[in-house]
Amino acid sequence: MSDFDLFVIGAGSGGVRAARIAAAHGAKVAVAEEYRIGGTCVIRGCVPKKLLVYGAHFAEDLNDAAMFGWDIKQCQFDWPVLRDNVLAEVDRLEGLYRQTLTNHGVTIFEERAVLTGPKSVRLASGREISADRILIATGARPHMPAIDGIEHALSSNEVFLLDQLPKRVVIAGGGYIANEFAGIFHQFGSQVTIVNRTDVILRGYDEQIRDRLLQISITKGIQFRFNAAFDRIEKREDGSLKLSMTGCDDLDADAVLFATGRVPNAQGLGLEEAGVTLGDNGQVKVNERAQTNVPSIFAIGDVTDRVQLTPVAIREGQAFADREFGNIDRTVDYSAIPSAVFSHPPLAGVGLTEGQARNKLGSVRVYTSDFRPMKNVLAGRNERSLYKLVVDEATDEVVGIHMIGPDSPELLQVAAVAVKAKLKKADFDATVALHPSMAEELVLMK
């Protein structure tokens, strides 16, 4: 008899979902978490980031308000107020996650757990626990390169806790976090420079959409240094940073944020000792049923380094628990996963980019709508949105939708249903426009 039917290591989005559903199916479940319940997304990722994005949007909205007749005097931004309100909201959500687990009868150990065998773990306090199945849901951590002075740099873990806003911030990387925080800091008044090792931002997104973000960002005043690398970071006596670079001039900054990808949290967990095979990036290798090469050990979410997105980890956790404890044969469908970058303006995409579609399908039709949103016109904001449909010439199926502009993630979630359902361009054409809206462009492209 084992102590538990399921022992989950890591109480992030995926681990919590798996634990809750397994318990709802009648399993005896425990979760170990060494930091805070909720994981990266809730504690130091998607949720606090999105709240900062909302906060940052006020800068443009308040500016634009004048053309809509509002006379707003003494407009000032107070970072500690926003920071503390966001952190309080994170505390509230952590409480809800904890409640969800306890309401389902899940035992929570708030300490580190490491594997001691295929069916056993040891807690940091020394207690040994046995379980029929063990689920690794430990997520990933920011990749921090081994350069001199890296200890002076921030990662996305600390960026939410700043005492004050930096006047000059340099961001390493050209991906999600770099572009999202460039927008946030810029709106709050910091001078922002993005430094990337190549000249491509947001690799994987549609090229035209990425180019539009780059143009808009440059027009707003965000600076870019491409094909550049950090040699050394030095802290001066006044607290400022000297960044020695290769590929561009040295830079001065008050803060430097590294956003150069994430590393699976698979080391020091006793995985190798338990016989679990790890991949080249240190990720836990699993089959389509989230099972490692050790039959009793499973893994989901970022630690498996497949699709590093919260809703995917949640689906993997749900499918694992349904399969293993609910007798429901469920697997995760990784096709047509919508994603978004909460930059200023945000962008979003689902399905094949134009380039991917041309490579895969050969003949494709591409429809674009390049327009200035009505609100921007009245506000005098010269910022254009771009929507794009990628259609398979042979079948008329819409295989990709890509957008940049206000609220594009909100619109794309709905549009993703059409791609998932393999709707045709003719179905878009047959849908009456909802006027006046930005989304109507999706059914008006000729």
Active site residues: 435
Measured CA to CA in angstroms, residue 121 lies from 21, 60, 184, 268 at distances of 21, 51, 41, 13
Q: What are the start-end ranges of the H helices in 154-206?
A: 176-187
- One residue of 85, 102, 164, 198 binding ligand NDP per CB under 6 A: 198
- Cβ nearer to ligand NDP, comparing 374 with 414: 414
Residues 290-309 contacting ligand NDP, CB under 6 A: 308-309
Does residue 182 touch ligand NDP according to CB under 6 A? no
Number of C-beta neighbours around residue 126 at 10 A:
7
Measured CA to CA in angstroms, residue 153 lies from 144, 241, 255, 264, 273 at distances of 9, 9, 7, 20, 33
Does residue 260 touch ligand NDP according to CB under 6 A? yes
- One residue of 13, 196, 217, 291 binding ligand NDP per CB under 6 A: 196
Quote the least distance from Cβ 246 to ligand NDP, whole Å: 12
Residues 158-177 contacting ligand NDP, CB under 6 A: 173-177
- One residue of 341, 412, 438, 439 binding ligand NDP per CB under 6 A: 341
DSSP codes, 238-270 = TS-EEEEEESS--EEESEEEE-S-EEES-TTSS
Quote the least distance from Cβ 194 to ligand NDP, whole Å: 9
- Cβ nearer to ligand NDP, comparing 274 with 341: 341
Quote the least distance from Cβ 309 to ligand NDP, whole Å: 6
- Cβ nearer to ligand NDP, comparing 115 with 348: 348
Does residue 339 touch ligand NDP according to CB under 6 A? yes
Quote the least distance from Cβ 9 to ligand NDP, whole Å: 20
**Residue nearest ligand NDP (C-beta atom):** 175
- Cβ nearer to ligand NDP, comparing 261 with 406: 261
Phi, psi of 336 (to 5 degrees): 50, 50
Measured CA to CA in angstroms, residue 288 lies from 293, 298, 333, 376, 386 at distances of 12, 11, 10, 46, 36
Q: What are the start-end ranges of the H helices in 127-283?
A: 176-187, 207-220
Does residue 13 touch ligand NDP according to CB under 6 A? no
Contact between 141 and 262 under an 8 Å Cβ cutoff? The reply is yes
3-class DSSP state of 22: helix
Cα–Cα nearest to 119, from 2, 292, 278, 277: 2
Which positions touch ligand NDP (CB under 6 A)? 145, 173-178, 180, 196-198, 200, 203, 259-262, 308-309, 339-342
